[in-house]
Amino acid sequence: MSDLFNVSSSPHVRSKDTSSRIMQYVILALLPTTAFGIYNFGIKAAILIVVTIASCIASEWIYEKIVHKESTIKDCSSIVTGLLLALNLPPTLPWWEAVMGGVFAIIVVKMLFGGLGQNFMNPALGARCFLLIAFAADMTNFAIDSYSGATPLAAIRNGESVNLMDMFIGRTAGTIGETSAIAVLIGAIILILLGVIDLRIPATYIVTFVVFLLLFSGHGFDGNYIVAELCGGGLMLGAFFMATDYVTSPITPMGKIVFGICLGIFTGLFRIFGANAEGVSFAIILSNLLVPMIERYTVPRAFGVVKEAKKHE
């Protein structure tokens, strides 16, 4: 017998997917959105994206140097964080504010809590909300050369009409990555085909949000309004790329559905009853905080385990 058996402890079945491979898939899926953002907003957007990614990688590298940890920048997660953060910034943002956002995302939200896999909320969205509170004026300044200042969402809120086709393609004002629903959807299809994301979270998110709009928006069953709310703002980008972040979303199948429902309700509440037209990022980080609790109550029954009999028979 010349065959040698590979003797090792479990698990014996391993997938080829590694953290860095999944991150590369996500970057690939974000390319259409990034490309459209640069096409739409010009060189300014490209510079902002590069600066944000660079600041994320640099802060991860420097932090790990300072605390004498093994460098993890090769897993590409800081590139994804930087890219997602940049796609969530308005193209007019001063570069040093974007750098600050990158540093906040990596050091405060991710590394201080233990690095990749330990962060309690999505680093990119944590940083976006930090910037939104810190530099409210710059973060909501959407004035671009060829477009009017108001984002479609703000226009809808003020009762103005919007061009749905423009919103779908993305020729509107907004953050770099959120304007084009079609580019985000192309990326989402790539992710689903590659098996990186599971449809449960985005699907329940969008369905819950639509139901919430039907019930509480005061517009009744108005197709135009609903499509505009879905394509406007960061909803698509958030639903497919940020709510599905492995670290900060539930791993249980039932938990994913509960998580999606929470997202839909929070987004609806913030958009309709809140002070701002947009509420996706706050909805996602708030739901991120609920994840440990959701997972606790949605643990699936292990195969063969009988449900505990009730006390009284």
Partner 1 sequence: MNKNTERLYNGIIKENPTFVLMLGMCPTLAVTTSAVNGLGMGLSTTVVLVLSNLLISLFRKVIPGGVRMPAFIVIVASLVTMVEFIMKAYTPALASQLGVYIPLIVVNCIILGRAESYASKNQPVSSIFDGIGMGLGFTFGLTCIGIVREILGAGQIFGAQILSLEWFTPITIFVMAPGAFLVLAVLVAIMNIVRDKMEAKGKPLAAPSGCITGDCASCGMSSTCTGKSTNSASAAKSE
66 binds partner 1 (CB under 8 A): no
Angle 10-291-70 from CA coordinates, rounded to 5°: 55
SS3 per residue for the chain: CCCCCCCCCCCCCCCCCCHHHHHHHHHHHHHHHHHHHHHHHCHHHHHHHHHHHHHHHHHHHHHHHHCCCCCCHHHCHHHHHHHHHHHCCCCCCCHHHHHHHHHHHHHHHHHHHCCCCCCCCCHHHHHHHHHHHHCHHHHCCCCCCCCCCCCHHHHHHCCCCCCHHHHHHCCCCCCCCCCCHHHHHHHHHHHHHCCCCCCHHHHHHHHHHHHHHHHHCCCCCCHHHHHHHHHCCCHHHHHHHHCCCCCCCCCCHHHHHHHHHHHHHHHHHHHHHCCCCCCHHHHHHHHHHHHHHHHHHCCCCCCCCCCCCCCCC
CB of 54 to partner 1, least distance (A): 21
CB of 134 to partner 1, least distance (A): 4
Q: Which is nearer to partner 1, 130 or 225 (CB)?
A: 130
Q: Which is nearer to partner 1, 100 or 227 (CB)?
A: 100
Q: Which is nearer to partner 1, 114 or 300 (CB)?
A: 114
Looking up tokens 């580019």, which residue turns up? 183
211 binds partner 1 (CB under 8 A): no
Instruction: State which of positions 71-130 bind partner 1 (CB under 8 A).
Output: 94, 97, 100, 108, 130
- Out of 27, 62, 73, 134, name the contact with partner 1 by CB under 8 A: 134
Angle 67-89-168 from CA coordinates, rounded to 5°: 135
Q: Which is nearer to partner 1, 135 or 147 (CB)?
A: 135
Q: Which residues contact 4 (CB under 8 A, 6 or more apart)?
A: none
CB of 133 to partner 1, least distance (A): 4
Q: Which is nearer to partner 1, 127 or 196 (CB)?
A: 127
CB of 274 to partner 1, least distance (A): 17
CB of 225 to partner 1, least distance (A): 33
CB of 131 to partner 1, least distance (A): 9
- Out of 1, 133, 275, 309, name the contact with partner 1 by CB under 8 A: 133
141 binds partner 1 (CB under 8 A): no
Q: Which is nearer to partner 1, 20 or 141 (CB)?
A: 141
| Listed ranges 51-59, 134-142, 146-154, 240-248: which one lies at the site for partner 1 (CB under 8 A) | 134-142
Number of residues that bind partner 1 (CB under 8 A): 10
135 binds partner 1 (CB under 8 A): yes
Q: Which is nearer to partner 1, 139 or 167 (CB)?
A: 139
138 binds partner 1 (CB under 8 A): yes
Q: Which is nearer to partner 1, 120 or 135 (CB)?
A: 135
| Listed ranges 24-32, 135-143, 287-295, 299-307: which one lies at the site for partner 1 (CB under 8 A) | 135-143
Task: Compute the distance between CA of residue 20 and CA of residue 203 in angstroms, rounded to an integer.
Answer: 26
> Where does this chain bind partner 1 (CB under 8 A)?
94, 97, 100, 108, 130, 133-136, 138
